[in-house]
Chain A
């Protein structure tokens, strides 16, 4: 996460010092095999400064086992959204080094299994996400460099335990690990390991490293909640190349072997990798558009091409307005955009006028761009699927579609010309990871916002009384991927629609009407007379408050907090005529 420089660890500890369990915010249990005070204070400080308020629960010093194993412990009544396991390799190393060498592997195995089982147990708390700090690989190497080749050396067994923690993360689905060894190396293990502080106050690292280590837990929280950065909006001059295109001309800009041009190539390669990971790239530049596109088309040292840029905005309007326009055209929130600009003036203007966007500093020297940006860990991933790989393409074709949209007068005509084809199929193993991702992430077009766990989703898939369906959409501009989910449940003569959600990138396509047609068809085949759906309001889903009304359902109940319940008769359903063909997936 990015925070201005003045938030160093002392400031953050001060900011997070006072707290009460009754405050509002995400509920985080910090379970430590070390002192937790420093970490928890910095975590709360970061939360306050970064707009992600956090309330913590910390059990007594070194009582992790008792706390997790006792079903009556305050951990469970605290009802955490997140549980963090703070490991301390300093504590582990004492256990391992005290074990007889011939016995080392067995002791390491026991320690690893014990921790893994605590993690699994915590992961069973309803709708929790668990973050485990991996162990920092210790600096003690009894065999020198050869230690890496000795299975039972201290560094080797610790790496083995980390492997096991990652395996637990992979198998559970709601457990994530923080790569502390990476962070420790970044600071330098010489500074990270302050043995005085371990001996005196059982502090697992020098507190100077805490903002980064705690910040990365928050990065994971955000990623899990779908609040991560989705798009990098780029200024051009002195960001993607050195010099000013308008003044220096295509031949004069520094890129590749010219001057400090390699630094810009490094940044472009770094951005290209992000793009292939699913991060959208956009351009937001003060330039004439034709001129600004020239290097992408003609400069031989450009790494990024026009097709890497999902949305290209170059004009002379304010960058704050252009960023808003960019977010709108991509149909993403401005708070999921990070803006890179070398000009302090533009950065401050955007911070003032488009405060939702993330605007980090940018170092003076372009050679520092990538290391600096990498230190912010802006692009934490909660998972990675084939969908993510293609995401930037989806958004690019979306912008192309939008541009076409502007040309065509009638929406109906436009939709009819899109040649949309959709798959509407029961959940299967192949698609479950993406389904789980969509369930976690979708905030706006989401009728009930129930965050079903991966396990629950699998149960729906196996339950013959349930109708768990996913929807994919293709049109003549390309694939949109798996973008909608609906889960029905048979209850007597009714089908209760438990969950209905859709990615915002396919809004206004009449896809929801198509889905309703399919649901009605399913109900009819199963001898069900009526569909019943509920809208549960959240701060984000106002978009679908009238969803059922628009689809022709009738209101049957209004709850106290704005919850509404709707019914629709299967016999009276009129097919929507939405211009979408149902297609059978390839076998």
Chain B
């Protein structure tokens, strides 16, 4: 997931499960969509409309991806 963030943001970031959009500079609504799309590409999966807005912090993002991959 760290790689996805770094690909989208174009720099190194320190991430923990409880990191939210407010903690990461540049994580705005546009970057949020890019994170969704970059994860889809990297993990070869597809988020549903209802899931796009759901991930509020990094931990939830990771859990969501894990459930989808399971």
Contact = CB atoms under 8 A, between A and B. Distances in A.
A196 interface: yes
A200 interface: yes
Given A10-B38, A38-B30, A196 B9 contact: no
A-B CB proximity, top 3 nearest: A14-B10, A196-B49, A37-B30
25 contacts: A10-B7, A10-B8, A10-B34, A13-B8, A14-B7, A14-B8, A14-B9, A15-B10, A17-B26, A35-B30, A37-B30, A38-B30, A195-B49, A196-B47, A196-B48, A196-B49, A196-B52, A199-B49, A200-B52, A201-B29, A201-B30, A201-B33, A207-B33, A207-B34, A207-B37
Contacts of A13: 8, 34
Contacts of B47: 196
A190 to B, nearest CB: 13
Instruction: Name the residue in A14, A197, A208 with the highest tally of chain B Cβ atoms < 10 Å from its Cβ.
Output: A14
Interface of B: 7-10, 26, 29-30, 33-34, 37-38, 47-49, 52-53
Instruction: Name the residue in B9, B10, B48 with the highest tally of chain A Cβ atoms < 10 Å from its Cβ.
Output: B10
B10 A200 contact: no
Interface in A172-225: 195-197, 199-201, 203, 206-208
A465 to B, nearest CB: 55
Contact of A41 (B30, B38, B52): B30
Nearest to B7: A10
A57 B26 CA distance: 20
Tell me the interface secondary structure of chain B in the complex. helix
Contacts of A11: 10
Nearest to A35: B30
B33 A203 contact: yes
Given A41-B30, A200-B33, 16 more contacts: A10-B8, A10-B37, A11-B10, A13-B8, A13-B34, A14-B7, A14-B9, A15-B10, A17-B10, A35-B30, A37-B30, A195-B49, A196-B47, A196-B49, A200-B52, A201-B29
A135 to B, nearest CB: 23
Contacts of B33: 38, 197, 200-201, 203, 207
A200 B33 CA distance: 9
B68 to A, nearest CB: 14
B10 to A, nearest CB: 4
A284 B38 CA distance: 42
A363 to B, nearest CB: 22
Interface in A1-25: 10-11, 13-15, 17
A206 B36 CA distance: 12
B29 to A, nearest CB: 7
A558 to B, nearest CB: 48
A200 B55 CA distance: 14
Nearest to B47: A196
B53 to A, nearest CB: 7
Contacts of B48: 196
B54 to A, nearest CB: 11
Contacts of B7: 10, 14
A197 B26 CA distance: 20
B9 to A, nearest CB: 7
A206 B38 CA distance: 12
B6 to A, nearest CB: 10
Nearest to B46: A196
A197 B10 CA distance: 22
A206 to B, nearest CB: 8
Contacts of B52: 196, 200
Contacts of A199: 49
